[in-house]
């Protein structure tokens, strides 16, 4: 073990000359460029000082600027948001809902649910909090109506199923829920939709209902937490990392001595950083959802950012899709806007790979890919999005992307040597505070 680690670090010095296995004496142009950038690297202590400054700035920002909430904006009555609630209080909410229905029947007004509208017309982007939220419009769902009898029945059934799940204090998937009454639900999209309705009705998150999505995220680095009571030390999770649990309410006791969270789009980059134990050189927590962010990873990131008060730096591909992924982490997706406050992590910094990096770090032409017309359209669409427009730096970067019609993956940095990402690119970025 120690032999291997020694060998690895010995080999680290002449990276540019051996990293590509080139045996010719004449260094390739890429190598000499990588060598050149390496010269700009200061000592780790100096880079750490730069990171620490960001960390302090981020903490003081958190403590000085009170987080703006809907009630600060006098919007809490006009807008609806759900929150995490414990098992007992969700059970009480269900009981109240059912009692209200019973009272309505006894009063001769019939069986009916009051269901918040989740339609696009009822959604609102609130710039002050930089999220999409739901307005408070709601509609009645009576049993004694041809158009709503089915939905009212499904709602009653989902309420009773969720109540049973909570009573046993277990978690199930949306698929499990669907299969308990296929005859009634007919199609999973129907039980899924009503599940979201129930979330809104009860004012709690879907996680609080104990109905979870499958997870695909992994985490390594300077983080200790408990997963269902088991203590997990993420510095001791090897290269594979710890799978992020599907049920965030069983996650607790987060502790960390990290200075930042590094959010990585792809698992190849995650593996590189995990194997190089990047988090030991620059104390951080490394997390990836392996592509499109899933709900479990979004909840986990939010939780880390909120409880540990750490700045989040993102490493994504330099293409519209990379930025789209950032937007999902930051602003949420439209069809879960009622839960945006729990799912979104504001203030993520775009570390790289940015369109301007391609020239700055002299990524060879053959490692850049031409953007398709569809890519360019996606880029232009992003330029119209509020969350991009409010960040001048991002607009400039996107304009470069659309103008040059070039994109590049994180993996393109491998052209300078396999460990260029962890040994040169990221340390240099951190040293120069090169994030937006």
Binding site feature residues for Mg(2+): 265, 317
φ, ψ (nearest 5 deg) of residue 111: -85, 115
Considering only 121-129, 141-149, 201-209, 225-233, which stretch makes contact with its own copies by CB under 8 A? 225-233
Residue 123 — left, alpha, or beta (φ > 0 → left; ψ -120 to 50 → alpha)?
beta
DSSP 8-class letter at 422: I
What SS3 class is residue 325?
Answer: helix
272 binds its own copies (CB under 8 A): yes
Stretch that binds its own copies, among 99-107, 122-130, 161-169, 341-349 (CB under 8 A): 161-169
Peptide bond into 353 cis (omega under 30): yes
Residues 310-329 that bind its own copies (CB under 8 A): none
Tokens of residue 110, six digits: 């019939």
139 is an interface residue for its own copies by CB under 8 A: no
Site residues for its own copies, 336-375, by CB under 8 A, read 364, 366-367
User: What is the smallest separation between the CB atom of 24 and its own copies, expressed in angstroms?
Assistant: 10
Any contact of residue 244 with its own copies (CB under 8 A)? yes
| Beta strands across the sheet bearing 79-80 | 79-80, 131-135, 123-126
**CB-based contacts of 238, cutoff 8 Å, min separation 6:** 274
Q: If you search the block for the tokens 């979870």, which residue do you land on?
A: 212
Structure tokens at 317: 């591909």
Widest Cα–Cα separation across the chain: 92
31 or 375: whose CB is closer to its own copies? 31
Question: CA-CA distance, 288 to 300, in Å (whole number)?
Answer: 11
Shortest CB 185 distance to its own copies, Å? 9
Q: Is 171 in the site for its own copies (CB under 8 A)?
A: yes
CA distance 115 to 322: 36
Beta carbon of residue 406, minimum distance to its own copies (angstroms, whole number): 13
How many CB atoms sit inside 10 A of residue 77's CB? 9
Q: Which is nearer to its own copies, 117 or 411 (CB)?
A: 411
Residue closer to its own copies, measured from CB, 133 or 413: 413
Q: Is residue 414 involved in binding its own copies (CB under 8 A)?
A: yes
How far apart are alpha carbons 388 and 409 in whole angstroms? 21
105 part of the interface to its own copies, by CB under 8 A:
no
**245 counts as binding its own copies under rule CB under 8 A:** yes
- Tell me: does residue 271 bind its own copies (CB under 8 A): yes
Select the residue interacting with its own copies from 41, 126, 243, 376 (CB under 8 A). Answer: 243
Judged by CB, which is closer to its own copies: 41, or 184? 184
Nearest to 379 by CA among 313, 317, 324, 314: 324
Backbone angles phi, psi at 324, to 5 degrees: -60, -40
Q: Is 173 in the site for its own copies (CB under 8 A)?
A: yes
**Does residue number 104 form part of the binding site for its own copies (CB under 8 A)?**
no
**Residue 128: CB minimum distance to its own copies, A:** 35
384-413 residues near its own copies, rule: CB under 8 A: 409, 411-413
Among 221, 246, 293, 352, binds its own copies (CB under 8 A): 246
Task: Write out the binding residues for its own copies, residues 4-23 only, by CB under 8 A.
Answer: 4, 7-8, 11-12, 18-23
Pick one of 238, 373, 374, 384: the residue that binds its own copies (CB under 8 A): 238
Burial tier of 26 (Cβ tally within 10 Å: 0-12, 13-18, 19+):
exposed
Give the range of 100-108, 180-188, 256-264, 335-343 binding its own copies by CB under 8 A: 180-188
Residue 121 makes contact with its own copies by CB under 8 A: no
Per rule CB under 8 A, is residue 189 in the interface with its own copies? no
Give the SS3 label for residue 132.
strand
Please give the structure tokens belonging to residue 34.
């990588």
Least distance (Å) from its own copies to the CB of residue 193?
19
Sign (positive or negative) of CA dihedral 203, 204, 209, 213: positive
Find the binding residues for its own copies in span 74-103 (CB under 8 A): none
Active site residues: 179
Give the nearer residue to its own copies in terms of CB position, either 172 or 204.
172
| Residue of 336, 315, 337, 334 lying closest to 326 (CA atoms) | 315
């Amino acid at each position: 073990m120690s032999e291997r680690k020694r060998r690895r670090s010995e080999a680290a010095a002449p990276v540019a000359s051996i990293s590509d296995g080139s045996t010719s004496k004449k260094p390739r142009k890429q190598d000499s460029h990588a060598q050149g950038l390496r010269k700009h690297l200061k000592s780790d202590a100096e880079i750490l000082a730069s990171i620490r400054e960001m960390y302090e700035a981020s903490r003081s920002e958190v403590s000085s600027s009170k987080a703006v909430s809907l009630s600060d904006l006098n919007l809490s009555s006009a807008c609806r948001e759900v929150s995490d609630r414990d098992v007992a209080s969700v059970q009480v909410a269900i009981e109240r809902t059912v009692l209200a229905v019973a009272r309505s029947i006894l009063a001769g007004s019939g069986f009916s649910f009051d269901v918040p509208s989740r339609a696009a017309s009822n959604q609102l982007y609130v710039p002050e909090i930089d999220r999409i939220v739901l307005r408070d419009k709601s509609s009645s769902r009576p049993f004694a109506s041809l158009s709503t009898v089915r939905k009212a029945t499904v709602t009653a059934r989902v309420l009773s199923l969720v109540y049973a799940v909570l009573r046993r204090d277990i978690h199930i998937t949306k698929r499990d829920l669907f299969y308990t009454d296929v005859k009634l639900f007919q199609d999973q999209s129907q039980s899924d939709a009503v599940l979201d309705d129930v979330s809104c009705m009860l004012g709690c998150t879907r996680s609080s209902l104990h109905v979870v999505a499958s997870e695909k995220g992994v985490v390594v680095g300077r983080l200790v937490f408990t997963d269902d009571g088991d203590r997990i030390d993420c510095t001791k999770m090897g290269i594979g990392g710890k799978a992020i649990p599907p049920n965030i309410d069983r996650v607790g006791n987060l502790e960390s001595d990290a200075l930042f969270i590094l959010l990585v789009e792809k698992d190849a980059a995650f593996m590189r950083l995990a194997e190089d134990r990047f988090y030991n050189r620059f104390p951080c927590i490394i997390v990836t959802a392996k592509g499109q962010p899933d709900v479990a990873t979004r909840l986990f990131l939010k939780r880390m950012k909120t409880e540990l008060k750490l700045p989040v730096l993102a490493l994504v591909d330099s293409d519209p899709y990379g930025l789209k992924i950032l937007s999902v982490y930051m602003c949420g997706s439209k069809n879960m806007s009622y839960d945006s406050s729990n799912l979104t992590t504001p203030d993520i910094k775009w570390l790289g790979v940015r369109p301007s990096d391609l020239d700055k770090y002299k990524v060879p032409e053959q490692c850049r890919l031409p953007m398709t017309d569809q890519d360019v359209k996606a880029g232009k669409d992003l330029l119209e999005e509020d969350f991009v427009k409010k960040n001048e730096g991002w607009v400039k970067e996107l304009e470069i992307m659309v103008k040059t019609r070039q994109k590049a993956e994180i993996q393109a940095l491998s052209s300078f040597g396999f460990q260029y990402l962890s040994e040169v690119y990221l340390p240099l970025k951190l040293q120069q505070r090169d994030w937006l």
